[in-house]
Amino acid sequence: MVTDQPARDGERLIDPFGREIEYLRVSVTDRCDFRCVYCMSEHMTFLPKRDLLSLEELHRLCTAFVRHGVKKLRITGGEPLVRKNIMWLFRALGQHLESGRLRELTLTTNGSQLEKYAGDLKATGVERINVSLDTIDPDKFKTITRWGDLSTVMRGLDAAEKAGIKIKINVVALKDVNEGEIPDLVRFAHARGADVTLIETMPLGDVGEDRTAQYLPLSIVRSQLMDHFTLQDTPYRTGGPARYVTVKETGGRLGFITPLTHNFCESCNRVRLTCTGTLFMCLGQNDAADLRTPLRASADDTLLDAAISDAIARKPKGHDFVIDRRTKKPSVARHMSVTGG
């Protein structure tokens, strides 16, 4: 049994460039029920269960970050909702919302389990979620996800809307795959009252595909969208890397995440924790900190707090994302599913 940690506030986490770390993304599993072509190899080797942090340990780690000023927690995977008993963690973390110490608890999901869990998520305090959806063509959806079923995701979206959860659709722009469908995806999302964010494919992990064949610059996509819509700049931000416009014709918001064509690191206020207790201070760098060892070394958080502070002191200014067109290899060897994007 894990005891509650003291309610004392710790020192705020300030990186070497003066950025206060207020946003923690937590991967609760590297497993997923899809095998998206830009994220995973079709034949993945997943971590043995013994290597994973328990849900109680994940709760203790998240609580430590909340004590140090983290205001936003995003639960990710793999697919977070395939983790057994995952709602226990959401209920436990939801207590930080009730206390006012946490501003937002949210998740990124592929939507496959939303039909089952949407009501429970809302009850724990989840008000907003990101759903990854790269196409609304059933056959193309099967091709992109390899294992997914579009109708299941659509029922999940309906369930989330019925529960009163605000949805943002995340779309990875893939050359010659969904390039011509993006205007329809924008209309689809906005018709449901959902924001939509377009994302450049990120060069992480060997996915069995040619990265140069997948890569579609969002500068090109934005130019193409202007043939369909009037895009109006807006100062709206969610705390993540997206830069938003308002689509005049629909009234909805459209975001762009551009790690390759426009580096967004100058305002980065987030770090990423894996399901094994490894903290990545930057998505696009290999440097990481082991938090599992100090977590398990003592029932009190003195060693853990020191390890967290030391890690933040090593947070780099930015990433080094690049698609190597000569070798066609990723910039970073680990798969996106390890850190949840």
Binding residues for S-adenosyl-L-methionine: 38, 78, 132, 202
* Residue set of the binding site for [4Fe-4S] cluster: 32, 36, 39, 265, 268, 282
Tell me whether the omega of the peptide bond preceding residue 78 falls within 30 degrees of 0, making it cis: yes
Distance of CA 15 to the CA centre of its chain: 21
DSSP assignment letter at 6: P
Closest C-alpha among 52, 41, 53 to residue 2: 53
* Residue set of the binding site for GTP: 25, 74, 108, 168, 270-272
Give the Cα separation of 20 and 262 in Å (integer): 22
CB 218 within 8 A of CB 277: no
Q: Which residues pair with 47 in a beta bridge?
A: none
SS3 204: strand
* Residue set of the binding site: 25, 32, 36, 38-39, 74, 78, 108, 132, 168, 202, 265, 268, 270-272, 282
Beta strands in the chain (DSSP E): 23-27, 72-76, 104-109, 128-132, 166-173, 195-200, 231-233, 243-247, 253-257, 270-273, 278-280, 288-290
| Joined tokens for residue 269 | 């206020």
CB 257 within 8 A of CB 10: no
**Alpha-carbon distances, residue 261 vs 64, 202, 258 (angstroms):** 35, 11, 6
CB 15 within 8 A of CB 68: no
Give the Cα separation of 126 and 117 in Å (integer): 11
> At a CB cut-off of 8 Å and minimum separation 6, what does 164 contact?
122
CB 21 within 8 A of CB 271: yes
